[in-house]
């Protein structure tokens, strides 16, 4: 009964303006009827006959007024929806959150805490105020927040942090106050409420204190958020603030991260092999697909892909299948979708035969080094069809997620990058400008190995990039750079020896690539086996 | 729109003055709102209202201001009732008379549709005024009685009153729009038709034209006009006989152009045809074959279709004469 009265009071407090408007409209209608009844029938008919026109004119006048008001005072019609808040109808279950199991476990625990606040209080536990979901884009932070709201069974007020920011001074803090006011009303009526602020880095970046007042509005908005979150503690409101960001911790203001505001941080990482397999199964269930598709193989092929990427792959595959007029999605469409997303759409560029040979040779250089020397990556495709800015590409992926890279892996990456250059040099005695991006990545790797990772030969240990440049002697700098160059030279020599030794294989792949333009994994594997080569 | 429908549905569409109580309604309304006692009579689609007014005219025979206000009040009242009733009235008549001087009366006739058009802004105030028939006259019945009395007096008949009463006894009905009157506590009224109303209105407009048009005034001395609608098996027609006399001078237009008599007559016919055509066109009245217009020494017979063309200036009157 008490809850019922609370809900009625909540209804009145939330919708009193609407109720007043409805009452006013009803009153006006009654008065209009009364007025009409008092008229003689002829004048009544005239009034009724002109009523639609009057309503139309009133509508047009009101529209013009709203348009003018929104244009001149509110920054355009695009701002009408900026305050829209949904609640209650979020329907995302735990089962819909896939591939982020550890984060899900933490979220479940949070839900239990929200549900069992009384028990928590009894044992003197502190109530959770804020939960920060941190992770790369597309990993399901928003989805997880929705699942928390659904499973906790309490109202959910989502808002993007960018909605707080406005050209007008004071609008951001005002919106924060309004959001928390609404949340308190919901918490009063329903027992609890969740506020979800997406992309919180838009207002949560470290505050700037400039004598010119720059960033004042963002600071004010963030200050208001901090005050409101502190206020939750004072007023004992059952409100939990969820926030999501893909910004690293250093980007957000420390005041926001301290205990008492966002007490807990849930890190959501890219899904592992098992997670990706489940994600493929989940999204494939939503479309018609060939049952014989090897989902495990797809999962292996999509290392470092986020749940959003996987969803996109299935969507793209459906589009490709539609284009080919197929009833179901097959493995081929999914592979093509992955390639399209990773490598871009093919576009035919007219090249001279000499150029084609040069490109083919370059790509085969990468391909041979990758297959023979790389310890972690598999090659999936080699192509001399232009995509994006590249005239050719060798598509490869690690066999499994590698969170770290050892020296051998880094060296292998440098060798693969240099493979194109060395192959061109061996076959044509000259090289092209197609090696620039390869050199850039090779140089960066070698530089980092020496300057930051202590992987040079001369025994320089430590991260020299943290030292201000003017505090490092020129000798040390020259020595470090020399070390990096030595690594590159050594790698280049090693692969030169390799490619000279495998010249027949090199020529064979160039010929195949010039003929077919693209070589798939199976074809590549077959040719290597023909020459008695196996993957390291 | 929903509100409009809701209001329309709830407010109802019943007429304010039901047709079976229309007489009472007018009497009540005039008494309640204007404190005036009136009498009413209905004939077909025409409703008549008799208003007795003391001191209708002052000593110099001008309409008294208070009396004028009372007449206007009754006109407004009868307009309201005829507009807000389910009885389909076409015309209303208001007869105002001083009971002490019943020999002079004011008769006011209106077409109800004209009132609607005026209230909806379809016609101007000036045009609305021209569409009313207003006459200050002696009741024709009184005139007849006077003639009989004179006759009996000459014949030295003593019981003239008895005989006159017997002679004039009969149905209190008017034979035409010009006979609408109130005499000896009898309301003489007929069911006015649009044709005779239009004929009378054209007649009044011709008078107005001769009075206001400077050229016509210079050329002719206007005497009278008589307009009527004649129903005949050979074809209905309007007939207008204009009586006028030539003035000797001047014979020039304002522009200084000298005019021959045939050219003057042509211009007179042009004006009369335009008046007739405009009035009949405005009422969308087409139940006639032709219009006959006669002036001294010349007559013009113009068919309906030619009349419509002539009012738009597509036919030259000179070609028809």
Q: What is the pLDDT of residue B258?
A: 55
CATH number of the domain enclosing A249: 3.40.50.300
Q: What is the pLDDT of residue B305?
A: 93
Residue B321 lies in a domain: no
Confidence band of A87 (pLDDT split at 50, 70, 90):
very low
The answer to whether residues A365 and A508 belong to one domain is yes
Range of the domain at B220: 195-315
The per-residue pLDDT for range A455-482, each reduced to its tens digit, is: 887 778 888 888 888 888 888 889 999 9
Instruction: Please give the DSSP secondary-structure letter assigned to residue A55.
Output: H
The per-residue pLDDT for range A342-356, each reduced to its tens digit, is: 777 777 778 888 888
Bridge partners, residue A131, by sequence: A242, A264
pLDDT value at A138 more than 50: yes
> Which are the contacts of A504, defined by CB distance < 8 A and separation ≥ 6?
A531
Number of domains within chain A = 4
The answer to whether residues B171 and B296 belong to one domain is no
Of A32, A40, A41, which has the smallest distance from its Cβ to B7's Cβ? A32
Residue B320 lies in a domain: no
CA B268/CA A306 separation, integer angstroms: 98
> Which are the contacts of A453, defined by CB distance < 8 A and separation ≥ 6?
A410, A463
The secondary structure of A5-17 as a DSSP string is HHHHHHHHHHHHH
**Record: contact A52-B1, CB cut-off 8 A:** yes
- Give contacts of A37 with chain B, Cβ < 8 Å: 11-12
Q: What is the pLDDT of residue B254?
A: 58
Of A25, A41, A51, which has the smallest distance from its Cβ to B84's Cβ? A41
CA A10/CA A182 separation, integer angstroms: 10
Q: What is the pLDDT of residue B226?
A: 93
CA A136/CA B173 separation, integer angstroms: 103
* Three-state secondary structure call for residue B230: strand
3-state SS of chain B? CHHHHHHHHHHCCCCCECHHHHHHHHHHHHHHHHCCCCEEEEECCEEEEEEECCCCECCCCCECHHHHHHHHHHHHHHHHHHHCECCCCCEEEEEEEECCEEEEEEEEEEEHHHHHHHHCCCCCHHHHHHCCEEEEECCHHHHHHHHHHHHHHHCCCCCHHHHHHHHHCCCCECCCHHHCEEECCEEEECCCCHHHHHHHHHHHHHHHHHHHCHHHHHHEEEEEEEEEEECCCCCCEEEEEEEEEECCCCCECCCCCECCHHHHHHHHHHHHHHHHHHHHHHCCCCCCCEEEEEECCEEEEEEHHHHHHHHCCCCCHHHHC
| Euclidean distance between the first and the last CA atom of chain B, given in angstroms as a whole number | 58
- Give contacts of B17 with chain A, Cβ < 8 Å: 40-41
The answer to whether residues A28 and A64 belong to one domain is yes
Average pLDDT (B201-230) is 90
The answer to whether residues A122 and A262 belong to one domain is yes
Range of the domain at A318: 273-343
Residue A3 lies in a domain: no
pLDDT value at B285 more than 70: yes
Of A42, A44, A46, which has the smallest distance from its Cβ to B11's Cβ? A44
Q: Are A446 and A488 in contact (CB under 8 A)?
A: yes
| Euclidean distance between the first and the last CA atom of chain A, given in angstroms as a whole number | 73
Per the annotation, the verdict on A363 as an active-site residue is yes
**Record: contact A42-B83, CB cut-off 8 A:** yes
Q: What is the pLDDT of residue A83?
A: 42
Q: Which of B137, B158, B192 is the last residue of a domain?
A: B192
Asked if the C-beta of B5 comes within 8 angstroms of chain A's C-beta atoms, the answer is no
Rounded to the nearest 5°, which phi and psi values hold at B50? -100, 130
Q: What is the pLDDT of residue B3?
A: 56
The answer to whether residues B258 and B163 belong to one domain is no
Chain A CA closest to residue B85:
A41
pLDDT value at A444 more than 90: yes
Q: Are B51 and B34 in contact (CB under 8 A)?
A: no
CATH number of the domain enclosing A312: 1.10.8.60
Answer positive or negative: Cα dihedral of A5, A8, A13, A19.
negative
The per-residue pLDDT for range A222-271, each reduced to its tens digit, is: 888 888 887 665 556 678 888 888 876 677 887 777 777 787 788 888 88
Confidence band of A94 (pLDDT split at 50, 70, 90):
confident
In A345-423, DSSP assigns E strands to 377-383, 393-398
Helices (H), B2-64: 2-11, 22-34
pLDDT value at A174 more than 70: yes
The answer to whether residues A374 and A413 belong to one domain is yes
Rounded to the nearest 5°, which phi and psi values hold at B237? -150, 155
pLDDT value at A81 more than 60: no
Q: What is the DSSP pairing of strand B101-111 with strand B237-246?
A: unpaired
Confidence band of B257 (pLDDT split at 50, 70, 90):
low
Of A32, A41, A48, which has the smallest distance from its Cβ to B16's Cβ? A41
Average pLDDT (B216-239) is 90
Mean pLDDT of chain A: 82
The answer to whether residues A327 and A366 belong to one domain is no
The answer to whether residues B142 and B42 belong to one domain is yes
Average pLDDT (B208-228) is 88
CA B156/CA B151 separation, integer angstroms: 9
The answer to whether residues B128 and B202 belong to one domain is no
Residue B60 lies in a domain: yes
Lowest mean pLDDT among A90-99, A323-332, A502-511, B41-50: A90-99
Residue A283 lies in a domain: yes
Lowest mean pLDDT among A159-163, A434-438, B198-202: A159-163
Residue A501 lies in a domain: yes
The answer to whether residues A95 and A121 belong to one domain is yes
**Record: contact A44-B6, CB cut-off 8 A:** no
Residue A141 lies in a domain: yes
- Cα–Cα distance list, A131 to A148, A196, A242, A509 (Å): 11, 9, 5, 54
Q: What is the pLDDT of residue A120?
A: 65
Please give, rounded to a whole number of angstroms, the shortest distance from the CA of B111 to a CA of chain A.
16
Residue A278 lies in a domain: yes
The answer to whether residues B111 and B184 belong to one domain is yes
The per-residue pLDDT for range B47-93, each reduced to its tens digit, is: 999 999 998 988 788 889 999 999 999 999 999 999 999 989 999 99
CA A529/CA A149 separation, integer angstroms: 55
CA A277/CA A226 separation, integer angstroms: 41
Q: What is the pLDDT of residue A124?
A: 64
Average pLDDT (B102-112) is 94
Residue A9 lies in a domain: no
CA A339/CA A335 separation, integer angstroms: 6
Residue B142: closest CA among B174, B177, B108, B103 = B103
Chain B CA closest to residue A34:
B11
* Cα A505 to the center of its chain, rounded Å: 41
The answer to whether residues B169 and B297 belong to one domain is no
Angle at A208 between CA A207 and CA A214, to 5 degrees: 125
CATH number of the domain enclosing A435: 1.20.58.760
**Record: contact B84-A40, CB cut-off 8 A:** yes
Residue A8 lies in a domain: no
Interface of A to B at Cβ within 8 Å reads 25, 29, 32-33, 36-37, 40-46, 48, 51-52, 55
The answer to whether residues A162 and A285 belong to one domain is no
Q: Which of residues A123 and A86 earns the better pLDDT score?
A: A123
- Give contacts of A45 with chain B, Cβ < 8 Å: 13
- Give contacts of A40 with chain B, Cβ < 8 Å: 16-17, 80, 83-84
Of A25, A36, A52, which has the smallest distance from its Cβ to B11's Cβ? A36
Q: Which of B192, B211, B228 is the last residue of a domain?
A: B192
CA A72/CA A69 separation, integer angstroms: 5
Of B10, B13, B15, which has the smallest distance from its Cβ to A33's Cβ? B10
The secondary structure of A290-311 as a DSSP string is -TT--HHHHHHHTTT--HHHHH
Determine what percent of chain A is predicted with pLDDT higher than 70: 89
Residue B19 lies in a domain: yes
Chain B CA closest to residue A59:
B1
CA A328/CA A330 separation, integer angstroms: 6
* Three-state secondary structure call for residue A82: helix
Number of domains within chain B = 2
Chain B CA closest to residue A37:
B11
The answer to whether residues B141 and B233 belong to one domain is no
Asked if the C-beta of B12 comes within 8 angstroms of chain A's C-beta atoms, the answer is yes
Q: How many CB atoms lie within 10 A of CB B221?
A: 11
pLDDT value at A534 more than 80: no
Determine what percent of chain B is predicted with pLDDT higher than 70: 89
The answer to whether residues B114 and B210 belong to one domain is no
Size of interface A-B (CB pairs under 8 A): 48
User: Could you give the count of Cα atoms lying within 13 Å of A246 in the half-sphere of its Cβ?
Assistant: 10
A340-379 per-residue burial string, b: 16 or more CB within 10 A, e: under 16: bebbeebeeeeeeeeebbbbbbbbbbbbbbbbbbbebbbb
The per-residue pLDDT for range A2-54, each reduced to its tens digit, is: 778 888 888 888 888 999 999 999 999 899 888 888 888 888 888 888 889 99
The answer to whether residues A159 and A289 belong to one domain is no
- B155, with CB counted inside 10 A (0-12, 13-18, 19+), is exposed
Residue A448 lies in a domain: yes
The answer to whether residues A190 and A246 belong to one domain is yes
Average pLDDT (A379-397) is 81
The answer to whether residues B87 and B182 belong to one domain is yes
Q: Which of A222, A242, A267 is the last residue of a domain?
A: A267
Chain A CA closest to residue B13:
A41
Mean pLDDT of chain B: 87
pLDDT value at B7 more than 60: no
The answer to whether residues B43 and B137 belong to one domain is yes
In B70-164, DSSP assigns E strands to 91-98, 101-111, 133-137
Bridge partners, residue B245, by sequence: B221
Chain A CA closest to residue B82:
A42
The answer to whether residues A414 and A309 belong to one domain is no
Confidence band of A84 (pLDDT split at 50, 70, 90):
very low
Instruction: Please give the DSSP secondary-structure letter assigned to residue A194.
Output: E
Please give, rounded to a whole number of angstroms, the shortest distance from the CA of B33 to a CA of chain A.
14
Q: Which of A237, A267, A297 is the last residue of a domain?
A: A267
The answer to whether residues A453 and A487 belong to one domain is yes
- Give contacts of B116 with chain A, Cβ < 8 Å: 42
The answer to whether residues A331 and A261 belong to one domain is no
- Give contacts of B15 with chain A, Cβ < 8 Å: 41
* Active-site residue, from A316, A333, A336, A363: A363
Q: Which of B176, B192, B208 is the last residue of a domain?
A: B192
The answer to whether residues B108 and B68 belong to one domain is yes
pLDDT value at A511 more than 70: yes
Q: Which of A244, A267, A290 is the last residue of a domain?
A: A267
Determine what percent of chain A is predicted with pLDDT higher than 90: 16
Asked if the C-beta of B113 comes within 8 angstroms of chain A's C-beta atoms, the answer is no
The answer to whether residues B147 and B218 belong to one domain is no
- Cα–Cα distance list, A535 to A186, A187, A492, A519 (Å): 61, 61, 20, 17
Please give, rounded to a whole number of angstroms, the shortest distance from the CA of A11 to a CA of chain B.
26
pLDDT value at B178 more than 50: yes
């Amino acid at each position: 009964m008490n809850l019922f009265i609370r809900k009625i009071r909540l209804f009145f407090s939330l919708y009193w303006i609407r109720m007043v408007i409805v009452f006013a409209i009803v009153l006006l209608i009654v008065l209009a009827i009364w007025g009409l009844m008092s008229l003689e029938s002829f004048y009544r008919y005239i009034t009724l006959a002109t009523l639609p026109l009057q309503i139309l004119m009133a509508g047009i006048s009101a529209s013009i007024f709203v348009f003018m008001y929104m244009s001149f005072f509110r920054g355009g019609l695009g701002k009408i929806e900026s305050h829209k808040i949904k609640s209650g109808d979020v329907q995302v279950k735990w089962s819909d959150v896939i591939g982020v199991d550890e984060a899900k476990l933490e979220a479940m625990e949070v839900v239990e805490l929200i549900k069992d606040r009384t028990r928590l209080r009894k044992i003197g536990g502190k109530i959770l105020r804020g939960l920060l979901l941190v992770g790369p884009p597309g990993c399901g932070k928003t989805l997880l927040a929705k699942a928390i709201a659904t499973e906790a069974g309490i109202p959910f007020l989502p808002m993007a942090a960018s909605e707080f920011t406005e050209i007008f001074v004071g609008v951001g803090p005002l919106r924060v106050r309004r959001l928390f006011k609404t949340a308190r009303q919901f918490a009063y009526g329903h027992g609890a409420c969740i506020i979800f602020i997406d992309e919180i880095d838009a207002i949560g970046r470290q505050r700037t204190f400039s004598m010119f007042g720059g960033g004042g509005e963002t600071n004010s908005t963030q200050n208001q958020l901090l005050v409101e979150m502190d206020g939750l503690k004072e007023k004992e409101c059952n409100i939990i603030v969820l926030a999501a960001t893909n910004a690293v911790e250093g980007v957000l203001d420390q005041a926001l991260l301290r205990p008492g505001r966002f007490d807990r941080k849930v890190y959501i990482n890219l899904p592992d092999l098992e997670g990706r397999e489940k994600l493929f199964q989940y999204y494939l269930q939503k479309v018609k697909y060939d049952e014989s598709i090897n989902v495990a193989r797809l999962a292996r092929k999509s290392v470092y892909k986020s749940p959003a990427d996987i969803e996109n792959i299935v969507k793209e595959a459906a589009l490709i299948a539609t284009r080919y007029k197929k009833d179901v999605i097959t493995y081929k469409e999914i592979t093509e979708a992955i390639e399209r997303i990773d490598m871009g759409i093919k576009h035919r560029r007219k090249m001279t035969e000499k150029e084609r040979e040069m490109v083919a040779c370059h790509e085969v250089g990468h391909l041979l080094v990758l297959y023979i020397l790389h310890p972690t990556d598999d090659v999936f495709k080699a192509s001399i069809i232009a995509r994006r800015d590249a005239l050719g590409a060798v598509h490869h992926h690690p066999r499994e997620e590698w969170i770290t890279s050892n020296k051998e892996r880094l060296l292998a990456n440098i060798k693969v990058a240099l493979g194109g250059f060395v192959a061109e040099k061996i076959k044509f005695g000259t090289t092209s400008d197609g090696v620039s991006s390869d050199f850039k990545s090779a140089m960066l790797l070698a530089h980092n190995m020496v300057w930051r990772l202590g992987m040079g030969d001369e025994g320089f240990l430590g991260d020299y990039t943290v030292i201000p440049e003017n505090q490092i002697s020129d000798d040390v700098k020259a020595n470090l750079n020399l070390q990096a160059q030595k690594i590159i030279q050594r790698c280049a020599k090693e692969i030169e020896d390799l490619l000279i030794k495998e010249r027949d294989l090199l020529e064979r792949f160039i010929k195949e690539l010039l003929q077919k333009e693209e070589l798939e994994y199976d074809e590549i594997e077959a040719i290597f086996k023909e020459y008695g080569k196996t993957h390291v | 729109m929903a509100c409009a429908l809701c209001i329309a549905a709830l407010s109802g569409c019943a007429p304010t003055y039901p047709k079976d109580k229309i007489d009472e309604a007018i009497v009540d309304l005039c008494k309640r709102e204007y404190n005036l006692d009136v009498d009413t009579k209905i004939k077909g689609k025409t409703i008549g209202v008799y208003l007795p007014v003391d001191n209708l005219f002052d000593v110099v025979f001008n309409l008294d201001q208070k009396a004028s206000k009372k007449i206007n009040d009754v006109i407004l009242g009868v307009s309201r009732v005829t507009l807000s009733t389910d009885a389909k009235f076409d015309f209303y008549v208001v007869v105002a008379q001083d009971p002490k001087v019943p020999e002079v009366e004011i008769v006011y006739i209106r077409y109800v549709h004209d009132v609607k058009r005026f209230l909806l802004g379809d016609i101007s105030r000036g045009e609305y005024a021209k569409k009313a028939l207003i006459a200050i006259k002696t009741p024709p019945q009184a005139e007849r009685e006077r003639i009989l009395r004179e006759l009996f007096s000459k014949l030295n008949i003593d019981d003239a009153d008895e005989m006159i009463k017997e002679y004039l006894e009969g149905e209190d009905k008017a034979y035409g729009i010009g006979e609408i009157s109130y005499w000896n506590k009898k309301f003489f009224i007929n069911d006015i038709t649009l044709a005779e109303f239009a004929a009378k209105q054209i007649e009044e407009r011709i008078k107005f034209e001769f009075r206001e048009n400077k050229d016509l005034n210079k050329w002719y001395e206007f005497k009278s006009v008589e307009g009527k609608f004649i129903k005949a098996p050979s074809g209905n027609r309007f007939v207008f006989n204009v009586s006028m006399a030539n003035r000797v001078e001047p014979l020039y237009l304002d522009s200084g152009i000298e005019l021959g008599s045939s050219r003057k007559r042509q211009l007179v016919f042009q004006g009369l045809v335009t008046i007739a055509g405009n009035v009949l066109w405005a009422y969308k009245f087409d139940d006639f074959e032709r219009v006959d217009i006669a002036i001294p020494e010349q007559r013009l017979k113009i068919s309906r279709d030619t009349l419509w063309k002539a009012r738009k200036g597509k036919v030259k009157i000179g070609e028809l004469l």
